[in-house]
Amino acid sequence: MIITYEVNTDGEQVKVTTHPNGSVTRELDRHPAVQSGISVYPAFDFYRKFTSSERIRARALASVDPVADDIMRTLDAAIASGSNVRSDDPDTINGLNYLSAYGPADGNGPVLAAGRVAEILN
């Protein structure tokens, strides 16, 4: 069984289950965080959980840091493809942790201040 998620025209999450017999079921899935402890966001909605300052500083870091560049390119690709971002995805967690440890050379510290990783994930 393969489970993926879509977003309907109301911006709501739809759980898509492909069964071994080839049948596909789609159910409106209103409370994934309550059910599983996992948050799932359309990639663009996830991107907008960052403040404008955080986005600008992340791009500045990405211009000189290949790890940050990969994080932002991965997020850009997710947005372009209409994919979702899951809070339990290792790429998501590692990416946010990296941005909370490193920042551009502007003297203002890491891209994400203390506590922001948890706020963005939830």
Partner 1 sequence: MSNLEQFIGANRPPATIVNGYSAGGTSNVIISAAGENHGKKILSGALTATVYKELVSVTGAGFIDLASAYALDATARTIGLKVVMDGVTAFDAVSASLSGAYQGIIAIGSRAAATGGFTNFQRFYFNTSLSLQVKSSLNETDLVELNVFYGTM
Binding site for partner 1 (CB under 8 A): 8, 10, 12, 19, 21-28, 30-31
In whole angstroms, the minimum distance from the beta carbon of 119 to partner 1 comes to 24
Nearer to partner 1, 31 or 90 (CB): 31
Q: How far is CA 24 from the centre of its chain?
A: 25
Task: Determine the 3-state secondary structure of 77 from DSSP.
Answer: helix
CA–CA separation, 35 and 3 (whole Å): 15
Nearer to partner 1, 19 or 48 (CB): 19
Give the E-state strand segments of the chain in sequence order.
Answer: 2-7, 13-18, 24-28, 40-42, 84-86
Nearer to partner 1, 38 or 56 (CB): 38
In whole angstroms, the minimum distance from the beta carbon of 3 to partner 1 comes to 14
